[in-house]
Chain A
Amino acid sequence: DIVMTQTPRSLSVTPGQPASISCKSSQSLVHSHGKTYLYWYLQKPGQSPQLLIYGVSNRFSGVPDRFRGSGSGTEFTLEIRRVEAEDVGIYYCMQTIQLPFSFGPGTRVDVK
C-alpha cells in the first residue's frame, strides 16, 4: 500500500502570512501515461472535505489563486500565499494511482 505522510501536522499562521504543507508518498504517483494522481482536500470545521487541487497543481473551480500545488514523483507541496481566516481546517493529500487509494494523516491549520 502507498503510505502518505504530511508535515507539519499542525500549523498556526498569522493572517496575511504564507503557509506551506509537505506531502510525501512511499511510491511514485506518476502513471505510465504521465499524469500524477495527487490531490489536496480541505476539511473545514464541521464540514465534509472539499477538493482544492487535482493532478498536483490544478486548482478546482472556485478555489482562490492564493492556493498553489506543486511537486513531482513522491514529494508534493501545498502553499497558501496569504492565509485568510476562512482557510482554517485540516488539509489532506490523497493518492489515487494505486489501490487502496489513501489519504495523508492531515495537517491542521489555524489562524492566530
Chain B
Amino acid sequence: QVHLQESGPGLVKPSETLSLICSVSGGSISSDYWTWIRQSPGKGLEWIGYMYHSGGTDYNPSLKTRVTISIDKSKNQFSLKLSSVTAADTGVYYCARDRYDSGMDLWGKGTTVTVSS
C-alpha cells in the first residue's frame, strides 16, 4: 500500500525558504502527478502545484515566482521549496498523488509550518 509522509521544519523565519519533503513508500514515484496543497485558516485549501512523472511542472500563478517542486526518483521522494516566506505562508502543507482525471487519491497526513521570527 502506498503511503505519503511529509517532513521538514515546523518553523521558518520570514524571508527565508520553506523546504519540505514528501516520502513515498510502497510504490513508485515514476508515474502520476505529485502535488503540494496547503491549508490555512484564512484561505482554505490552496493548490500549490505539481510535478509530472516526466519532470514537467505546473504551479499556482499566485506562487509561481517563489515555488519549486522537484522529484528525486532515487529516493522515491519529492520536495517543495517556497522562498521569501511571510506569515501568510503559515499553514498545514499536504503532499498528494494526483492521478490526473481520477483525482488526488492519496494524501499525506500534513505538516504544520509556522512562519515567525
Contact = CB atoms under 8 A, between A and B. Distances in A.
Nearest to A53: B103
Interface string B40-59: 00001111000000000010
A99 B105 contact: no
B104 A51 contact: yes
A49 B44 contact: no
A102 B105 CA distance: 16
Contacts, number: 52
Interface residues of A, number: 25
Contact-residue size bin, chain B (C-beta under 8 Å from the other chain): 10 to 19
B102 interface: yes
Interface in A56-95: 58, 60-61, 92, 94
A49 B107 contact: yes
B44 A60 contact: no
Interface of B: 44-47, 58, 60-62, 94, 101-105, 107-110
Interface of A: 35, 37, 39, 41, 47-51, 53-55, 58, 60-61, 92, 94, 96, 99-103, 105-106
16 contacts: A35-B101, A48-B94, A48-B110, A49-B45, A49-B94, A49-B104, A51-B105, A53-B103, A55-B102, A94-B45, A96-B101, A99-B58, A100-B62, A101-B47, A103-B45, A103-B46
